[in-house]
Amino acid sequence: MDDFLDKLPEMDLMRSEKMTLVQLIIPVESAHRCVTYLGELGLLQFRDLNADKSPFQRTFATQVKRCGEMSRKLRFFKDQIDKAGLRCLPRHEIEPDIELGDLERQLADHEHEVLEMNSNSEKLRLTYNELLEFKIVLQKASGFLVSSNAHAIGDETELHESTYSNNGFIESSSLLEQEMRHEPLNQSGLRFISGIINKDKLLKFERMLFRATRGNMLFNQTPSDEEIMDPSTSEMVEKIVFVVFFSGEQARTKILKICEAFGANCYPVPEDTTKQRQLTREVLSRLSDLEATLDAGTRHRNNALNAVGYSLTKWMTTVRREKAVYDTLNMLNFDVTKKCLVGEGWCPTFAKTQIHEVLQRATFDSNSQVGVIFHVMQAVESPPTYFRTNKLTNAFQEIIDAYGVARYQEANPAVYSVVTYPFLFAVMFGDWGHGLCLLLGALYLLARERKLSTQKLGSFMEMLFGGRYVILLMALFSIYCGLIYNEFFSVPFHIFGGSAYKCRDATCSDAYTVGLVKYRDPYPFGVDPSWRGSRTELPYLNSLKMKMSILLGIAQMNLGLILSFFNARFFGSSLDIRYQFIPQMIFLNSLFGYLSLLIIIKWCTGSQADLYHVMIYMFLSPTEELGENELFWGQRPLQARKIHMERFQGRTYGVLGTSEVDLDVEPDSARGHQEEEFNFSEIFVHQLIHSIEFVLGSVSNTASYLRLWALSLAHSELSTVFYEKVLLLAWGYENILIRLIGVVVFAFATAFILLMMETLSAFLHALRLHWVEFMGKFFHGDGYKFKPFSFALISDDDE
């Protein structure tokens, strides 16, 4: 038996990879190259040997800082390019790798250039904005100022009154008219300030002016029709042109101060129309000049940015890699002579040769006289857990890892989950119509796999995409279970031949009241379609699904127990086998295993026995006659013996708990100083709790598997409701509109409630069954993940 087990072929996923603690002694001159090559290989996890040092006290802190500075520059370029709205595709031709120093110099040059151009263009932009604002003010304000000297001074007060009682300076058009009629400016010592201000500050500005002058002013405003770019944020802002009329010198200083405080730019507008025209002309010509200059500047800048943009992505990865290399180098220690760097790390045992080759290549490439010393060390702490997964198994491994990373080399539940997970899902989601929909979705994801895997997806889509193979398997299993349940959107189909039942007479009037008669062999696969709609449909399906869930549950829990046996065997703990695995097996199987046996016998023989009765009276009066509940010969003595065994095993469990002394000393984790002190009472209590938990747990876990039945029932009932109460009801009307609405409602209900919500709930329940009921039997999950130093992983997550 042992030989047979030992000879089983190795499977990658069954247990995590064997890991080795290795020590590298690298000469300083080849250290950088070595680490770079190791990063390309990505199979070595360095241990931080300088954990007590703060980041800037480490050896290569300056280089890390330089890399940080460079990536800041690169971010700056990226920002600038994005702001300029350029789209730079990286050149496809392969450029030679650049040295870090060169790159640094290049980046500094580029940054200097861009900064200078920015400051220049900013100055220009400022002047341009000023001129533009001036132009706008000239155009708009002149409207208010069209002077007609003929008007009497007396009108002035009238004007004020009328506008204030009007209480709104908003109607600028009507104001304009008024202005044109009464414009007594110069004669009355009335002066004005014109300018332009941001729209959102306008109200406060106006209020402040009113307060400061105690209402002795007239405020006119009109929106500028063009938006002006704010130089600091380079956003377009709406501005408003205003003209304030006032009198007195003190008011003038106040108003100017307020303008300054609100960031309103004031521009003098001459009252004379000819002067105005002249000025406008001047401003316009200067504007066009500036525009040309600005355009040229922008073009120049865009060219420069383009040049940077071509190699930006490449530079970014280079810098990111360099930074990672230096971060890793910082984890290494100097040896006594200061000529070598000493590093320690974990690598999978199979990768030792690869690492060795890579190190040799690095030594050769860097022309170092001394090679890298690479040797295996004795490990004290537990090694990391590393599974080599592929596209399909990765998703399942993730599901398991979400619960806890497996202890080093313990049995990996992900292997079994690949089948059991989608299967349990399908038991709850059994409908081959819905299964087909899921399958289509999964196939769509698979067909576009290549495209989707390169682009960035939303969080929801990414989750779906990551689980595409899980969905595919779930869909396939749902179709299978749906065929067994014979449900297609809750409609049964005669796929595998005719029904085994027929009506009692030709009219078939009593089919749903009295029942049908069986006239030929059972339906060959799955549930007979005639059950559908019959009086006994629910009792029949419930009994079937309930018993089936118990069978599945017992099978899965037994698998879990058997895995705990393999774990104990692998770690060489015979105590675990004798006093934990065997009692647990006896307990579970003599109770619920026996129930499963009874279920199967009942199915096979068609017996009428009441299983509740059998199970309950097995405890209450084990010696009594079973009567009509007897399923097979010799049942009574068997039960009596079983009870005895249960009692016995309960006793062993309780008593032998005391002898399970070194159960908790992890066999592989602590060699040397980590050995915990042996504490009898602690282990005794722990084991006692464990025993009680298992006994109670086996009842509750078995009951927990009934969720398979409950969800499957809920699913089929829900889909029946939607089919009958929505689709069929709507179809009953002749009206095409009602039919259409019915179809739409049915489609939406199917898509959102059955396909999305139900999928999610079945998914979560399957998750729970795996995490709690299955993995609870054997899985420790207290390991830590293998995180190799790899460039491939860095570039992904460092965005």
Partner 1 sequence: MYGFEALTFNIHGGYLEAIVRGHRAGLLTTADYNNLCQCENLDDIKMHLSATKYGSYLQNEPSPLHTTTIVEKCTLKLVDDYKHMLCQATEPMSTFLEYIRYGHMIDNVVLIVTGTLHERDVQELIEKCHPLGMFDSIATLAVAQNMRELYRLVLVDTPLAPYFSECLTSEDLDDMNIEIMRNTLYKAYLEDFYKFCQKLGGATAEIMSDLLAFEADRRAVNITINSIGTELTREDRKKLYSNFGFLYPYGHEELAICEDIDQVRGVMEKYPPYQAIFSKMSYGESQMLDKAFYEEEVRRLCLAFEQQFHYAVFFAYMRLREQEIRNLMWISECVAQNQKSRIHDSVVYMF
Comparing CB distances to partner 1, the nearer of 73 and 777 is 73
**Which region holds residue 781: left if phi is over 0, alpha if psi is between -120 and 50, else beta?**
left
Taking the complex as a whole, the smallest distance from the CB of residue 254 to partner 1 amounts, in Å, to 6
Taking the complex as a whole, the smallest distance from the CB of residue 773 to partner 1 amounts, in Å, to 32
Which residues make Cβ contacts (< 8 Å) with residue 348, sequence separation at least 6? 17, 18, 19, 20, 43, 386, 786
Taking the complex as a whole, the smallest distance from the CB of residue 76 to partner 1 amounts, in Å, to 7
Q: What share of the chain is helix, strand, coil (3-state, %, to 5)?
A: 60, 10, 30
Comparing CB distances to partner 1, the nearer of 18 and 72 is 72
Crossing angle of helices 758-768/414-428, nearest 10°? 140
Comparing CB distances to partner 1, the nearer of 107 and 400 is 107
Taking the complex as a whole, the smallest distance from the CB of residue 114 to partner 1 amounts, in Å, to 12
Comparing CB distances to partner 1, the nearer of 208 and 370 is 208
Taking the complex as a whole, the smallest distance from the CB of residue 88 to partner 1 amounts, in Å, to 20
Bridge partners (DSSP) of residue 247 are 190
CA-angle at 668, arms to 662 and 673, nearest 5°? 80
Token pair 């200067």 in the structure block, residue: 286
Helices (H) and strands (E) in the chain, counts: 28, 13
Taking the complex as a whole, the smallest distance from the CB of residue 107 to partner 1 amounts, in Å, to 12
Which residues make Cβ contacts (< 8 Å) with residue 409, sequence separation at least 6? 15, 16, 18, 385, 570, 668
Token pair, residue 710, equals 């409950």
Answer yes or no: are the C-beta atoms of 17 and 412 closer than 8 Å. Answer: no
Contact residues: partner 1, CB under 8 A: 54-57, 61, 64-65, 68-69, 72-73, 75-76, 201, 204, 208, 211-212, 254, 257-258, 260-263
**Which region holds residue 142: left if phi is over 0, alpha if psi is between -120 and 50, else beta?**
alpha
Taking the complex as a whole, the smallest distance from the CB of residue 308 to partner 1 amounts, in Å, to 17
DSSP states along 368-386: -SSPPEEEEE---SPPPB-
Comparing CB distances to partner 1, the nearer of 69 and 113 is 69
Longest dimension (CA), the chain: 129
Residue type, 281: R
Comparing CB distances to partner 1, the nearer of 208 and 661 is 208
Comparing CB distances to partner 1, the nearer of 109 and 226 is 109
Comparing CB distances to partner 1, the nearer of 55 and 637 is 55
Burial, 486: exposed, middle or buried (Cβ in 10 Å; 0-12, 13-18, 19+)?
A: buried
Comparing CB distances to partner 1, the nearer of 126 and 152 is 126
Q: Where are the alpha helices (DSSP H) in 60-99?
A: 61-84
Token pair 């080759």 in the structure block, residue: 357
Closest CA relative to residue 163, chosen from 222, 218, 245, 209: 218
- What is the three-state SS of 139-154? HHHHHHHCCCCCCCCC
Comparing CB distances to partner 1, the nearer of 255 and 379 is 255
Radius of gyration of the chain (CA): 41
Taking the complex as a whole, the smallest distance from the CB of residue 69 to partner 1 amounts, in Å, to 6
Answer yes or no: are the C-beta atoms of 365 and 38 closer than 8 Å. Answer: no
Comparing CB distances to partner 1, the nearer of 91 and 207 is 207
Taking the complex as a whole, the smallest distance from the CB of residue 257 to partner 1 amounts, in Å, to 5
**Which region holds residue 215: left if phi is over 0, alpha if psi is between -120 and 50, else beta?**
left
CA-angle at 463, arms to 460 and 464, nearest 5°? 90
12 vs 500: CA distance, rounded Å: 48
Taking the complex as a whole, the smallest distance from the CB of residue 207 to partner 1 amounts, in Å, to 8
Comparing CB distances to partner 1, the nearer of 112 and 281 is 112
H/E stretch holding 243: strand 239-247
Taking the complex as a whole, the smallest distance from the CB of residue 798 to partner 1 amounts, in Å, to 13
Taking the complex as a whole, the smallest distance from the CB of residue 252 to partner 1 amounts, in Å, to 12
Comparing CB distances to partner 1, the nearer of 200 and 717 is 200
**547-585: b (≥16 Cβ within 10 Å) or e:** bbbbbbbbebbbbbbebbbbbbbbeebeebbebbbebbb
624 vs 639: CA distance, rounded Å: 11
Comparing CB distances to partner 1, the nearer of 261 and 721 is 261
Three-state DSSP class for residue 276: helix
Taking the complex as a whole, the smallest distance from the CB of residue 72 to partner 1 amounts, in Å, to 6
Taking the complex as a whole, the smallest distance from the CB of residue 65 to partner 1 amounts, in Å, to 6
